[in-house]
Structure 1
Amino acid sequence: MERRRCANVTRQLQILAKKIDKVENAENARNGIDKFAEKLERDLLTDFDNAYRSADLAAMKDSADILTDFNGGGSVIQMFVNQHDYFIVQEKLVNTDTLQNEELWIKLSDPDGDSKELEDIMQTLIDEIEQVIVTEMEIIKKVFRNSVAILKVFLQRVFAQRIQQQVEACLMIAEEKSTLAYMRSLHICYSKVGALTKSLKDVFATQSIDNEGELTALLDQNFADIFVPYIESGRYFEAEVKNLNQIITFVLGKFSELHSHKLVRDHSILSRFTSSNEHNKEATRDSQTSSSNTSVSEKGQGRIGQLMRAVRLERSNSHHKLAEDDESEEYGPDINLEQIQKILSYAAESIKRDLELADSKEIPNDAKTFLHLLLDGLGRDVAEMLLDESIASSNNQEAKSVDLGFLKAIRQVSGFIFLISSMIHTVIAPMLSNNAVLKGHTINSLNAFLERCETKMNTIIQSAIDLCLARITYLLNKQKKKDYAFKSGSEESVSTTQTCIEVGHFLGHIHSVATISLDGRNLELFLHEVGTSFKGLMLDHYKKFNVSAPGALVLSKDVQEYQMEIDEWNISELSEEFGVLHSVANLFTAQYVLQWVVFF
């Protein structure tokens, strides 16, 4: 009570002394009063400090009230805030000891590494800070009249000296390690401090201490002051794009090294293929009847044109089959679905960060950038490159030596396309919100990519069909005239001809590669196209030969072998069509039997 009365009297004397200007020795009086007021303030602050250290809240409140009435309470607020260890002990202001673990940064720099250790470090810091703030809030409410004003000062100091400096220290180290470590660290700090901000808002709302929203506004401002410098003006997103580009380059490094020298990715390769392919088609057509020509050139292109339209999202099972297909490694592909999935998971991690860190207004434009990173880095530089290589490989083959291994790129790339398309549809497209322009751009870009791949796949498949028929024609042209025209009675040693054996082996190769490269309706259409055209070739082929009575048995044996190979393809319609060849063989065989009947 005496302290309060003394403080009131002193304050009134100070007010009165300022009003007296012309009285003799007034200046000396004012100076004396001011010195006494300063001593009184120091004594009251000492009382407050002693009460704080002894946790005597009643005494703290009494001193705080007196000082508030005496001079507004600015000095007692500063003492209350400054006395905390957070703002006294330097080691507690910025503690970098926990950030010196090199293993932590190795994991953060590894795309497959985890960030749990840094998350735990930041969570420990956040938990500690929240506990301190909540504890101090209870003290402030009991000690100070204007608790919101004191909390604002305390929060300001905590964010500026405890949180911001720790975040800056963390990001400074991370930036020296790698772009990925920096991006992950920024995201962790942003998330943890953001969670703290939200939690404190909830606490203040529960305690009904922020009715005017002053503390909420301050928390939002402090949070922005810490992270805006790292995010504004595109700085954050530039780092994100750089990070994703580095990861894609890392994962695809060996692939790019092995494949980049094989192709110059331009349209001239398709024009070269078209020219060469037309030459192969002409050679094949010369050896076919009009009926066979209609089958391949008129019906074939229309039906094959349907083959790869299913390469869009409906082909959801293609990638699973490819993953189990070890033979797909034979033709050049040194990148697999697991690697593509990894890159897409890394992209998903980047997108997740962007959705949390970037300004919501920038998200659609960021989505456009992510779209082209995938379409260029995986679509053009992987999927289309493999298809271009496949086209080039088919273009370099001749009928005398055909290897259909290039066809295997179809299934592999189909799996890649499915994953890329799914990523764009399920992750990137939702980022576009209601931006009709960018939505249209995304749809057009994706469709253009799919159409390019579809065109190239159709080109590969048609090339495979043409090469199959060219190879079969080449082998059939090696058939000797005497294979079916010999006259000696050696029917007991009847066996298939060498040409039949070679054609049969090639038919087996066609089926083996086709089942690896295609599936479902696509596989059936491809084999049916080859089989139907092969039947036409055979009908034309047998017109060229004179068949003797014993030779008819050899011809029949060849037809049976061809039928067995076709039956292995498990296409009932095609097997039935080959009955025509049996009818032809039966005509010659019937003639042979008739001769024996007449003889006897």
Structure 2
Amino acid sequence: MSSSQQPTADDADIAEHLQLSAFKGKFEVTDFVGSVSERLIAKSKADPGPFDPKPFIRTFEAAVDKLIAIRKDVQTKTEQMEKSVRVAEREYSKKMAALSREFDTVANSFSGMESRMNVVSSTAVRIGDQLETVHIERQRAQAAYDLIDYYNQFSKGDTSNLDTLRKEGRAGRRKVAVILRRLTTVAREVDLPNSDKTRETIDKYCEKFEKEMLNLFDRCYRKGDPKMMHHCAQTLLEFNGGASCVQVYVNQHDFFINNVRETRAAEDIQLWNALGDPDASPPKTELVDTETQIVKAVFPNPPVVMQVFLQRVFAQSIQQYMEQLLHRGAEVSDLGYLRILQLVHIQASLLVEDLKAHELPMASARTPYEAAEFRRSITGAAPVTISTPAAISTMLETAMEELFVPYTEGQRYLERESRSLTGLYQSLLAAFGRYHKSQRGKGSTMFDRMAQAATAALTRFGLLNRDSDRATEKQNEEPVREEDGVLSVDVAERIMKWHAEAIGRCVELSPTNDVPKSTFALLKVLSETLGQSYVEMALETAQSRLDAIDSKSEPALHILSVVKAVDLICHLWQQYINIALLPLASSSVTTRREMVQFNTQTINRIESATNNVLQRMADSIVGWLSLQLTKQKKADFKPRNDDISFARVNTEPCVACCETLEKVRDAAKESLSGKNLEVFLTEIGVAFHSLLLEHLRKFPVSATGGLMLAKYDIKSYQDAITTFGIPALQERFEFIRQLGQIFLIQPEVLKSFITSNYLGRIEPSLLKPYIALRSDWGQFEKGFNDRGNTAGGVGLKDRFGRLSVMMKELEGLRPMEVCPAYRVGSQPGFSMPSMPSMAGRGFGGGSAQNGS
């Protein structure tokens, strides 16, 4: 097919798809081809014959020819439009260049105009300054002329002009006030004949004018006319600074008049029934809020007036009421005095914070001339000072500080707080001290020394008097009771509660920089009371009781309850120090370090005393066990009548020792816990183990006796120690059990038995002292000895020493470390803060190692 062929009938169908408008917008080639061949496809499907491609070829050749023609037309139009755009751009550039030149011309014109205007304005400013200078000079000249004229009139005794001006109303009175102030200044400077008489005349007139204005202000104050009050205050401010007007306002205020008439502080029953919640309190801020509005409306300088008013409130009302409260509190007790002082400080602080919300801005005059007059009037008034921003807040802080200086400066407060705590603690622990003193008899004890020191301190502070002496004598006459000398956690909590209240007052009343030192001082008071006068006194009594017990008496296990109380009290004490006291000293690294060191020394001293008590208790228990073992009879393990022996089962020393061990276990678990319990029971178990090793070397054993020893006595010992729950002790007494088996084993298997298990871990020769106690030892001794005895004439006891010394060679036994010292505050279930630690050692006599 060629493009020269005539168009077919189908060309008309596709003409609509070959319009230029069909290619505008979104164009898809697939859609275009589909629309062009749509009818051809339909005809091809309708024709039953084979597919004929010719209609498709003709149609698409015609479409291509048409598209080529359209492209040429579009290209032609595009070229024409591009030429038009280029021409338009050249025209636009020419127009913009012309406009730019015109704008430059206009800008230059405006610049020239501005320069000329600046020259003119500078000239106008200079002329204005000159005119203002001339005007001011003219005013000064006119004022000087008027002053000279008025001065001459006063020198002649003529005041008619001023009288007339004064009667003209508010404006006239203000002018008179300014003139009189200036005349007063001039009169002091003039030195002419008759000037003294003129000055006296002017002063009398000024005094008369001031009295009239003050009387007018007082009348308006009573009538409640704030506008006239403002006029009087403004006039007096311009006359002499307005100090007299402010004084009249403050002195005549109902608040001060009513407070002078009332006497409230001493008779408030509700206040003295509960010192912590007094019924009366410092003035409330509702009054100040009202006065602020009045002062702002009446006075031209409200901050100055509010300062005078509030200073009067603090100096008269609050201070007088505070003195009454403190005097009444001091009559009750030192604690009542301190509680009232803290309460007053809290209320005063709240009052100051509320009053700061009423800070007033400094009033400004409306014109420069009025501002100059106002500054001159203020400068000329000596009693009144210019108020600065936040002047009321500064004045309130100063007044607050001055209010409490007489009670807190230096060491006054801290000495009184220490005196109060010392007196309270001495009263609380009086019965406790008398009980322990009676238990130890007369002599110089720790309590005696503490009582003497406390008495000297109280005497120095002036606390002791005849009444307290009689009270002390009355207490000494009362009989002591057993419960008075018991350590109590409740008492310790009361001691720390009172101390915490004192610390709260210390933080409230002491300067911030002095809080660490004050806290340390009160910590010493607490340590002296809770440590020396309470805990250590009980430990000293317990030590004395243990020392007084006869070595042949049963151990006083109830004394262990003292250790339990010490543990609980010290734990609570250390928690209190770490949580409440040490954070207060965080601002002073030196003081905090000294507090930690002091507390460490105190706890080390208590640990050492507790260590001594437990060591003495352990010695008493071991001594009692040793005494029971000495009651063992020679024939207990070599009985003559086997039936009677078997009926007896355990020997009497075994029964006594097991009962003692059970009592020790129960008492220790009741009074000790954690590592302390383990150390104490380990000490008892190890010592009893050594006693048994030595004990079994002393008695001959028959076949029947060996059965009694191994099956009953040793088994009972082992069972009693097993209840301690300490694995190391269980292994040691398992060795004792196997050692007892050598009395039951047949001679022919004895050698193999002692070379196995625990016994096999030591030399067989070390077991010979025990094997030699068998009743049949002579029958197999020769065959048992594989090696000759090279140390003739020397006994086995002397050759090998105590077997307990050789126990360290038992490889399978857990090595028994030396028992560490007792640790206070080791209660289970508590997360204990950092505590002073002790060096690892046995009970009693070891040196303490300070912890951090």
TM-score of Structure 1 vs Structure 2, range by shorter chain: 0.7 to 0.9
Paired residue for 1:164, among 319, 330, 333? 319
Matches within 5 A, 1:220-299: 220-262=397-439, 264-265=444-445
Instruction: Tell me the equivalent position of 2:685.
Output: 531
Percent identity between matched residues is 28
Distance 1:544 1:208, change over 3 A: farther
Residues 375 and 449, structure 1, Cα contact 8 Å, conserved in 2: yes
Instruction: Tell me the equivalent position of 2:810.
Output: none
Residues 93 and 161, structure 1, Cα contact 8 Å, conserved in 2: no
**219-228 or 439-448, which deviates more:** 439-448
Instruction: Tell me the equivalent position of 2:517.
Output: 365
Shift in Å, 1:197: 1.2
Residues 364 and 432, structure 1, Cα contact 8 Å, conserved in 2: yes
Distance in 1 (CA, whole Å) between partners of 2:598 and 2:546 is 28
Residues 7 and 66, structure 1, Cα contact 8 Å, conserved in 2: yes
Letter in 1 for 2:295: I
**Is 1:500 aligned to 2:654, yes or no?**
yes
Matches within 5 A, 1:137-536: 137-204=292-359, 212-262=389-439, 264-265=444-445, 333-401=485-553, 402-490=555-643, 493-536=647-690
Shift in Å, 1:562: 2.1
Distance in 1 (CA, whole Å) between partners of 2:207 and 2:524 is 72
1:560-589 deviation digits (Å, cap 9, x = unpaired)? 322332222223442343223333443434
Please identify which structure carries the higher helix content: 1
Q: Which has the larger radius of gyration?
A: 2
- Secondary structure of the structure 2 residue equivalent to 1:204: coil
- Secondary structure of the structure 2 residue equivalent to 1:482: coil
Instruction: Tell me the equivalent position of 2:280.
Output: 121
**Is 1:132 aligned to 2:299, yes or no?**
no
Letter in 2 for 1:105: W
**369-378 or 551-560, which deviates more:** 551-560
Shift in Å, 1:374: 1.9
Shift in Å, 1:435: 4.1
**Is 1:100 aligned to 2:254, yes or no?**
no
Distance in 2 (CA, whole Å) between partners of 1:542 and 1:27 is 126
Calculate the TM-score normalised by the size of structure 1: 0.77
**Is 1:3 aligned to 2:169, yes or no?**
yes
Letter in 2 for 1:557: Y
Instruction: Tell me the equivalent position of 2:771.
Output: none
Residues 265 and 280, structure 2, Cα contact 8 Å, conserved in 1: no
Distance 1:573 1:38, change over 3 A: closer
Distance 1:371 1:35, change over 3 A: closer
- Secondary structure of the structure 1 residue equivalent to 2:409: helix
Shift in Å, 1:343: 0.9
Instruction: Tell me the equivalent position of 2:91.
Output: none
Letter in 2 for 1:357: L
Letter in 1 for 2:220: F
Residues 432 and 438, structure 1, Cα contact 8 Å, conserved in 2: yes
Instruction: Tell me the equivalent position of 1:87.
Output: 256
Residues 487 and 538, structure 2, Cα contact 8 Å, conserved in 1: no
Distance 1:41 1:58, change over 3 A: closer
Distance 1:545 1:221, change over 3 A: same
Residues 492 and 569, structure 2, Cα contact 8 Å, conserved in 1: yes
Shift in Å, 1:38: 5.3
Letter in 1 for 2:729: L
Distance 1:409 1:23, change over 3 A: closer
Shift in Å, 1:183: 0.3
**Is 1:64 aligned to 2:222, yes or no?**
no
Q: Unmatched 5+ residue regions in structure 1?
A: 109-114, 267-328, 596-600
1:73-93 deviation digits (Å, cap 9, x = unpaired)? 333322322222221124566
**Is 1:561 aligned to 2:716, yes or no?**
yes
Distance in 2 (CA, whole Å) between partners of 1:421 and 1:265 is 26
Shift in Å, 1:523: 1.0
Distance in 2 (CA, whole Å) between partners of 1:32 and 1:448 is 80
Shift in Å, 1:155: 0.8
Distance in 1 (CA, whole Å) between partners of 2:434 and 2:598 is 27
Shift in Å, 1:25: 9.6
Letter in 2 for 1:538: L
Letter in 2 for 1:61: H
CA RMSD of aligned residues (A): 3.3
1:374-397 deviation digits (Å, cap 9, x = unpaired)? 221111222222222222222222
- Secondary structure of the structure 1 residue equivalent to 2:410: helix
Distance 1:67 1:560, change over 3 A: same
Distance in 1 (CA, whole Å) between partners of 2:324 and 2:436 is 43
Distance in 2 (CA, whole Å) between partners of 1:236 and 1:42 is 46
Shift in Å, 1:180: 0.1
Residues 319 and 403, structure 2, Cα contact 8 Å, conserved in 1: yes
1:94-129 deviation digits (Å, cap 9, x = unpaired)? 5226x531x643544xxxxxx1x22x532xx34x2x
Distance in 2 (CA, whole Å) between partners of 1:24 and 1:354 is 62
Distance in 1 (CA, whole Å) between partners of 2:198 and 2:725 is 118
Distance 1:537 1:194, change over 3 A: same
Aligned length: 515
Distance in 1 (CA, whole Å) between partners of 2:438 and 2:399 is 53
1:18-75 deviation digits (Å, cap 9, x = unpaired)? 58974999699758845752563255224422442xxx43343233333433454333
Residues 44 and 67, structure 1, Cα contact 8 Å, conserved in 2: no
Shift in Å, 1:422: 3.1
Distance 1:248 1:151, change over 3 A: same
Residues 7 and 70, structure 1, Cα contact 8 Å, conserved in 2: no
1:382-430 deviation digits (Å, cap 9, x = unpaired)? 2222222222222222332122333332222122222333333333333
Shift in Å, 1:533: 2.4
Distance in 2 (CA, whole Å) between partners of 1:388 and 1:527 is 23
1:339-385 deviation digits (Å, cap 9, x = unpaired)? 11211121121112112212334333323322221221111222222
Calculate the TM-score normalised by the size of structure 2: 0.56
Shift in Å, 1:552: 3.2
Residues 417 and 502, structure 2, Cα contact 8 Å, conserved in 1: yes
Distance in 2 (CA, whole Å) between partners of 1:211 and 1:377 is 52
- Secondary structure of the structure 1 residue equivalent to 2:531: helix
Distance in 2 (CA, whole Å) between partners of 1:211 and 1:35 is 30
1:273-329 deviation digits (Å, cap 9, x = unpaired)? xxxxxxxxxxxxxxxxxxxxxxxxxxxxxxxxxxxxxxxxxxxxxxxxxxxxxxxx9
Shift in Å, 1:434: 5.0
Shift in Å, 1:189: 0.5
Residues 48 and 63, structure 1, Cα contact 8 Å, conserved in 2: no
Shift in Å, 1:170: 0.7
Letter in 2 for 1:588: F
Residues 303 and 392, structure 2, Cα contact 8 Å, conserved in 1: yes
Residues 485 and 546, structure 1, Cα contact 8 Å, conserved in 2: yes
Letter in 2 for 1:149: V
